[in-house]
Amino acid sequence: MSFPDRKEDEVRRMLLGPYPAVPPDLAGRAAERGRRLLRRHRAVRAAGWLLLLAAAVAFTVWAAIVHPWTTPPTDTTPPFEGW
């Protein structure tokens, strides 16, 4: 018997054999875990939006103070005198 045939036979035996007992509280535990994951997902999403908002506010304050869109004064040319 080759290797894949053994696996196939083992799977067939598992499917034909007695099925394991399902715990009676499995649905309740699964629902609670789902609620917990959903709550965590919502908290992470809210934290992400708050972080994005804080970054936008910080950028706006920085831009209002520094004025990065204006050109810096040119101090490289000598004064225009004596013509």
Question: Over the stretch 14-23, which tens digit does the pLDDT of each residue have?
Answer: 889 888 889 9
Number of domain units in the chain: 1
Residue 72 domain flag: no
Residue 57 domain flag: yes
Q: Is the pTM of this model over 0.85?
A: no
Closest CA to 42 of 34, 31, 30: 34
Residue 73 domain flag: no
CA atoms within 13 A on the CB side of 46: 6
pLDDT recorded at residue 34: 98
Residue 41 domain flag: yes
Residue 75 domain flag: no
Task: Quick: pLDDT tens for 50-83.
Answer: 999 999 999 999 999 998 888 877 777 766 777 6
Residue 8 structural domain = 3-66
pLDDT recorded at residue 48: 98
Statement: residue 1 has pLDDT above 60: no
